[in-house]
Amino acid sequence: MASNPTAVLFACDHNAVRSPMAEGIMKKFYGRRIFVQSVGVKHDLEIDGFSIAVAAEIGVSLEKHRVRSFDEMEEWGDDIDGYDLVIALSPASQRRALEYTRFHALEVEYWPIFDPTGLATTREDNLKVYRQARDQIIENIIARFGPPFEIDE
């Protein structure tokens, strides 16, 4: 296991499904010990309802998540230099994160978490594939950062 960074940025395509789940899970597991945010390559969607539902099943609230893109992050003054590690959850977000390494001392990891959107037609089948993505994120987080802490917050 690599040493834990102090600030992590999760990235995916739209910041509406995978990266918000990863951000919420990290905050639940490790509290304020690691600063965590999430971002997307694009900002053209809102937080996904199925992501909200499967995160709630494990006690993670995503209802207040505000979707944002890399460009908006920069416009709002959230400097990429503030992060030690960017974890890309999609090929497009990995490419975008790697662009920053030309100018910033930044570590980028790629976790190929599948995109559960559009894979099912019924509510129950959608919940099933979103749970698979959520559980894949949890496995990667624990493998990278270690067992969750007991959080009393």
69 closest CA partner among 42, 106, 50, 31: 42
The CA distance from 132 to 54, in Å, is: 10
The CA distance from 8 to 108, in Å, is: 10
99-134 tens-digit pLDDT = 988 888 889 999 999 999 988 889 999 999 999 999
Beta strands in 41-138 (DSSP E): 85-88, 107-110
59-97 tens-digit pLDDT = 999 999 999 999 998 888 888 888 999 999 999 999 999
Give the angle subtended at the CA of 87 by the CAs of 44 and 65, to the nearest 5°: 40
Assign domain 7-145 to a CATH class: alpha beta
Please tell me whether the overall predicted TM-score, pTM, comes out greater than 0.95 for this model: no
Phi, psi (degrees; rounded to nearest 5) at 109: -115, 145
